[in-house]
Amino acid sequence: MSSGRTTRPLSGQFYRRDLVTRLNDSNGVPLTLLLAPAGSGKSTLLSQWQKQALDRHVVSLAVQPSDDDPVRFLRRFAEQTRAVVPAFDTSWFMPFDVSEMPPSSIAEALQDALEQVTDPLYIVFDDFQHITNAETLKVLDVMCAYPPKDVHLIIASRTRPGLNLASLRLNDALLELDAGALKVNRDEVIELNQRLGGEPLEAAALDHLMSITEGWVAGVKIALMGAMGTGVRTLHDFHASQPEIMDYFGHAVLKGLPEFARKLFLESSLMHHFNAEMCDVVLETTYSAQLMEELSRRELFIIPVPGRPGWYRYHALLREFLQARVAIDMPERVAPIHRRATEYFLQQGDYEQALWHAHRADDVDLLLDALARAFDYWLREGYASQILEWAEQIPDEEFLARIDLAAPLISTLTLSRRFYRARFYLDAYREQAGSALQQNEDERQMLEFLELHLQFFQHDTEFMEGANLSLLMETSTQRDVRAFSLAMVAYYHLQHGRLQSALAFSAQAREVLLQLGQHFTAGYAGLVTALAHQQMGHIAEAVTLVMEQFSATPRDCPTWSLWATGMVVVLYDQNRLEEARQLCEDLLPVVSSASATEVISTVYLTLSRLQHHQGNRKNSTRMLEKLQSILQLGNYQRFINEAVMEMMRQAYVNGEWARLDVIAERFRLKDWVDEYLNKNSADYSQSWERLGLAAVYWLMASGRNEDAHAALVLLRDVVNRAGIRSSGAIMEANLLVLAGRRSNDADMARRIEALISRYGVMNINRSVFDEAPGLSTLISDLWRRGVLELPEFYTELFSGIFTQSPEHASLEVDPASVLTPKEFEIFELLQNGLSNAKISEQSGVSVTTTKWHLKNIYSKLGVSNRTEAVLRASSR
C-alpha cells in the first residue's frame, strides 16, 4: 500500500449558496439583472442555480456576438424555448423578417406565445453585453413592462444593458445582483484554495488577498494559482488593480512554464479553438500534446470545447493577455500562423474556423480564396445563411471580381427570395465583365444559367420554359449547371401537371447531383420525385421515398427541412394529425427567408389546417395571414392561390358567408368563373387548379350549385387529362357531395364505391376529406348504417371519422315535424343550395324575413349555420 498522500483532481469551482438563494427570489419579479465585469462568476452562478432545482423550466441562451441581430437572436430564443417547453407554440411567435415588423408587434407576438405556457418559466440570457441592437432591446423592454404571467427574465451582462431599468426599479419589479453582490467572501476563498490544492492560507495572507482583489473571482483564482508555485507568501505582493493583476498573471503563468511550452502557449492563443494535432501543424512543432497536458495540469484557464473531445479554448481574459504579448514579443509570427491555420481548417472542411483565421491573416487573396471554397460547400449543402452573412462583410467589388464568389451568392439570393439583390449582382457582374464574356464560354453559360434560375424562381408559374434552358442542359460544359437545369425543368413540369416528365427529369437530376456532391439540390429533386408520385396516385412509392430519406437525414442538415416537409404531407394524408402538428412546429423555427418557398408554404398551410380542425379559428386564420404577408416578397401566385383556396375552404366549413364574399372579391374569383365556367378545357397549372377550387366553394356558398357542378367537371377533366389523380379524387369527391343532397343511400354507396375503385382507397385521404367538405359525414353515415362496406384498416386509420362522433352528425329531429309549413318550404329551398336572395324570390318574402326564418330553423334543428344544416340534413 502506498504511503503517499492520495491525489485528488483539482477544481476551481465552489458552491455559492447565498447567491443561489438570492437568485431564487427571481420568481417574484419580471427581470433579474446580474451586472458585473468578466470573471465575476456570473455563468457559474447561473449554472449552480439551474442545477439546484432540476424540475424548474429554464430556457438558457448563451448570447454570442453574432446574436446582435434581431432575427437570429429571436429565432435562437424561439428554438431553445421550444426545446425546453413543448407547450411553447411557435405558431404564435416565429419572427420571419423582423426588419419589416415594428418592435411592439414582435413583443406582442412574443407575449401571446409565452402566455400559452401554463407553468412558471425562467428565461436566462448569459453574456448579454453582446446585444446592442435597438430593435431587440425594445422587444425586451416591452416584455419587461408588460410581463406575461409566471415568466421571469434573468440577464447576465458585463455592461449595463440598454433597457428601461428606471421604471422597473420604481415599481419594485427588478432584482439586481451587481459586482458587489458577486464578490467572494472569506469562507469561499478558503474553499476555493482547498479545491485548487493550495497550502493553508494564513490569516494575514487571506486578509491581504480579500483586500486587494475586492472579492473578484477571477483575480482571486489567479492569485491563488500563482501562490501554488511560489508559496502563499507571494499573496502579500499581489496587487489589486487590473493592470497589476495582468502583469502578475503574465509572470506567474509564463515564467512557470517550461521553455518549450512558453512559445507554444503564446502562439496557440491566436487560435479560437485548438487541439494537439492542429497546433502541431499550424505552429510547426511536435510538442503540442505536452503543452496541452502541462496547461491542463496547471488549470491555466484552458476550457474544453463542449461536444468536441480533445479541443480546448482559453478563458477570454487569458487569451487577450497572451495575444497582446504575442503582438509585442513576436509580431512577425501572427500573419503566418493565421495563414497556416486557414489552410489547416480548409483541409478539415471547417470553413467557419478557416474564414475566422483568414480574416485575421491580413491577406485579401487568402480570404477570398477561402471564401470561394466555403461558398461552394455551403451552396452544395444548403447552408444559405452562412453565405448571406459573409456577403454582408465583404465589399461588393470583391464579389464582382470573381465568378466563383458571385455565382453562389446570386444563386443563394435567388433561392432565398432576395430577387432584387440577385438582379443587382447579376447585372453588375455582366456589365463589369463586358466583352470578356465572349471569350470565356464557361462564364457566359454560368451567367445564362443564373439568369434563367432567377427568372424561374421569381416568376414561378409565369416562367416560360424555352429553348435556351434545353440548350443549356444539353451543351453546357459544366455538369453542375446541367444538373441544376435538370432539377429546374423537373420542378417546372411538376407545376404544370406533366408528371411523367417531372419524374424523368427529377430522377436524372438527383442521380447527377448526388454524384457531384450537390446534396441540397439533390434533396429538392428527390422531393419533386415524391410529389410527382403522390399526385399520380403512386402513394406507396411516394411514402417509401419520403420516409427513407427523412429517417436517414440528420436534424442539423439543411436537407432535413426538405424531407421533413415531405413527411408532413405523408403524416397529414395518413391522418396522423398529432405527429404532423409536432413536425410542423419543429419545422417552423427552421423555415426562414433562406428556405424554399415550397417548404414555408407547406408548413404554414398544414398548421393552419390542423388548428382549424382543433377549432382554433383565430389561430388558423392568423397562420394564413402570415403566409400571405411572406408571399408578398415575390411573385408567388401559385402559393398565394393555395392560401386563397384554404381561406375559402375554412370560411365555407365555418359558414362565414360574409367572409367568403370578401375573400372572393379580394382575389377576383368572379374573374375565374367568368373566364372558365363555360369552357370544356383549359391548360393545367397548380395555380389555376387551386384558384378554381376556391371559386367552387364560393359558388356553393352562394347557392349556385349548377355553376359549382360545371366548374368541378371542368377541373376534374383537366386534372385527369394531366394524370393528377390526387386532384382528380378531390374534384370527384366534391361532385359526389353535391349529388348526395338529392340521391338515395344505394345510389350514393355505388358512387362512393366507384370513387374508391377509380382512385384507390388510400388516395381517399385526409386532404380529400378536407377539400371536399361533407364527404366524411356522407361516407361515415353510410358506413355506420351498413349501407357501405370499407376495409377495417381504413376505418381504423381514419378513426376520427368512423369511430368517433362525426363532424356533422345527422339531425336529431325530423324537420317536417318541428318546422312550420313556411319554415319547411324555406328549409327545402336551402337544401337546394339557393342563396338568401333566391329563397326570398321563390318563397315570396323579403330577405329580412328569410333571415329571420333561417334563424328559427337553425335553432329548432340544433345547428349553428347554413352549411351544418345542409350537411347534417343530407346525412339523414
Query: What would the pLDDT profile of 839-854 be if each residue is shown by its tens digit?
Result: 888 888 887 888 877 8
Domains 17-178 and 259-362 share a fold: no
Task: Report phi then psi at 177, rounded to 5.
Answer: -125, 105
pLDDT of residue 251: 62
Question: If you average pLDDT over residues 423-442, what whole number do you get?
Answer: 79
Highest mean pLDDT among 393-397, 474-478, 711-715: 711-715
Question: Assign residue 231 a region: left if phi > 0, alpha if psi is -120 to 50, beta otherwise?
Answer: left
pLDDT of residue 183: 83
Q: Indicate if the alpha-carbon torsion angle 361, 365, 369, 374 is positive or negative.
A: positive
- List residues bridging with 60 in a β-sheet: 124
Q: Give CA–CA dist 266/331, Å, rounded.
A: 11
Which value, in Å, is the radius of gyration of the alpha carbons in the chain?
Answer: 34
Q: What is the mean pLDDT of the chain?
A: 82
Report pLDDT digits (tens) over 578-635.
Answer: 999 999 988 888 776 556 788 888 999 999 999 998 888 888 998 898 888 888 766 6
- Choosing among 1.20.1060.10, 3.30.70.100, 3.30.2130.30, 3.40.50.300, the CATH entry for 17-178 is 3.40.50.300
Walk across the sheet containing 174-178 and list its strands.
57-62, 121-126, 151-157, 31-35, 174-178
Cβ–Cβ < 8 Å for 823, 857: yes
Higher-confidence residue: 560 or 215? 560
Band (319; pLDDT cuts 50, 70, 90): confident
- Give me the half-sphere count of Cα atoms (radius 13 Å) on the Cβ side of residue 716: 18
Band (481; pLDDT cuts 50, 70, 90): confident
131 pLDDT more than 80:
yes
Q: Residue 708: exposed, middle, or buried by beta-carbon count in 10 A (0-12, 13-18, 19+)? A: buried
Band (730; pLDDT cuts 50, 70, 90): very high
Question: If you average pLDDT over residues 32-54, what whole number do you get?
Answer: 83
Question: If you average pLDDT over residues 517-539, what whole number do you get?
Answer: 88
Mean pLDDT lowest for which of 434-448, 635-649, 658-672, 702-716? 434-448
> Which helix (H) or strand (E) element contains residue 197?
none
Residues 130-160, buried b or exposed e (16+ Cβ, 10 A)? bbebebbbbbbbbbbbebbeebbbbbbbbee
- Which amino acid is present at 678? N
Work out the percent of the chain whose per-residue pLDDT is above 70: 84
Band (95; pLDDT cuts 50, 70, 90): low
Number of H helices, E strands in the chain: 47, 7
3-state secondary structure of 842: helix
Band (231; pLDDT cuts 50, 70, 90): low
279 pLDDT more than 60:
yes
Mean pLDDT lowest for which of 104-108, 285-289, 536-540? 104-108
CA angle, residues 567, 570, 574, in degrees to nearest 5? 140
Higher-confidence residue: 824 or 390? 390
> Which helix (H) or strand (E) element contains residue 438?
none
Q: Indicate if the alpha-carbon torsion angle 810, 813, 815, 820 is positive or negative.
A: negative
Q: Residue 786: exposed, middle, or buried by beta-carbon count in 10 A (0-12, 13-18, 19+)? A: exposed
What does the chain come to in residues?
876
pLDDT of residue 876: 43
Report pLDDT digits (tens) over 405-426.
Answer: 999 999 888 887 788 888 999 9
Report pLDDT digits (tens) over 567-579.
Answer: 999 999 988 999 9
Report pLDDT digits (tens) over 665-689.
Answer: 999 999 999 999 888 889 888 889 9
Q: Give CA–CA dist 421/629, Å, rounded.
A: 20
**Predicted TM-score (pTM) of this structure:** 0.70
CA angle, residues 490, 495, 501, in degrees to nearest 5? 40
Cβ–Cβ < 8 Å for 468, 448: yes
Higher-confidence residue: 422 or 148? 422
Question: If you average pLDDT over residues 212-217, what whole number do you get?
Answer: 70
Domain layout of the chain by residue ranges: 17-178, 186-254, 259-362, 815-874
238 pLDDT more than 80:
no
Q: Residue 57: exposed, middle, or buried by beta-carbon count in 10 A (0-12, 13-18, 19+)? A: middle
Cell of 14: 465552489
Q: Give CA–CA dist 56/58, Å, rounded.
A: 6
Question: If you average pLDDT over residues 56-75, what whole number do you get?
Answer: 85
Which of 138, 124, 131, 122 minimizes the C-alpha distance to 160? 131
Q: Give CA–CA dist 589/74, Å, rounded.
A: 10
Question: If you average pLDDT over residues 388-408, what whole number do you get?
Answer: 88
Question: If you average pLDDT over residues 701-710, what whole number do you get?
Answer: 87
pLDDT of residue 333: 92
Q: What CATH number is given for 259-362 in this structure?
A: 1.10.10
Cell of 436: 470578356
The residues near 395 (Cβ < 8 Å, ≥ 6 apart) are none
CB atoms within 10 A of CB 705: 16
Which of 30, 340, 338, 1 minimizes the C-alpha distance to 174? 30
Q: Indicate if the alpha-carbon torsion angle 257, 260, 266, 269 is positive or negative.
A: negative
- Which amino acid is present at 571? L
The residues near 226 (Cβ < 8 Å, ≥ 6 apart) are 234, 238, 248, 249, 252, 253
Cell of 597: 418557398
Question: If you average pLDDT over residues 791-807, what whole number do you get?
Answer: 75
pLDDT of residue 14: 75
Cβ–Cβ < 8 Å for 345, 282: no
Q: Give CA–CA dist 94/819, Å, rounded.
A: 50
169 pLDDT more than 80:
yes
Mean pLDDT lowest for which of 167-176, 246-255, 356-365, 814-823? 246-255
Q: What CATH number is given for 815-874 in this structure?
A: 1.10.10.10
The residues near 824 (Cβ < 8 Å, ≥ 6 apart) are 815, 816
Q: Give CA–CA dist 726/720, Å, rounded.
A: 9
Question: If you average pLDDT over residues 499-527, what whole number do you get?
Answer: 89
Cβ–Cβ < 8 Å for 509, 490: yes
pLDDT of residue 409: 92
Band (246; pLDDT cuts 50, 70, 90): low
Higher-confidence residue: 248 or 544? 544
Cell of 591: 423555415
Distances in whole angstroms, Cα of residue 777 to Cα of each of 42, 78, 517, 737, 763: 61, 39, 50, 10, 18
The gap between the terminal CA atoms of the chain, to the nearest Å, is 92
Q: Indicate if the alpha-carbon torsion angle 344, 368, 386, 453 is positive or negative.
A: negative
Q: Give CA–CA dist 411/454, Å, rounded.
A: 8
Distances in whole angstroms, Cα of residue 364 to Cα of each of 360, 368, 371, 429: 10, 6, 10, 20
Band (482; pLDDT cuts 50, 70, 90): confident
213 pLDDT more than 50:
yes
> Which helix (H) or strand (E) element contains residue 469?
helix 467-475
Lookup result for grid cell 449558496: 17
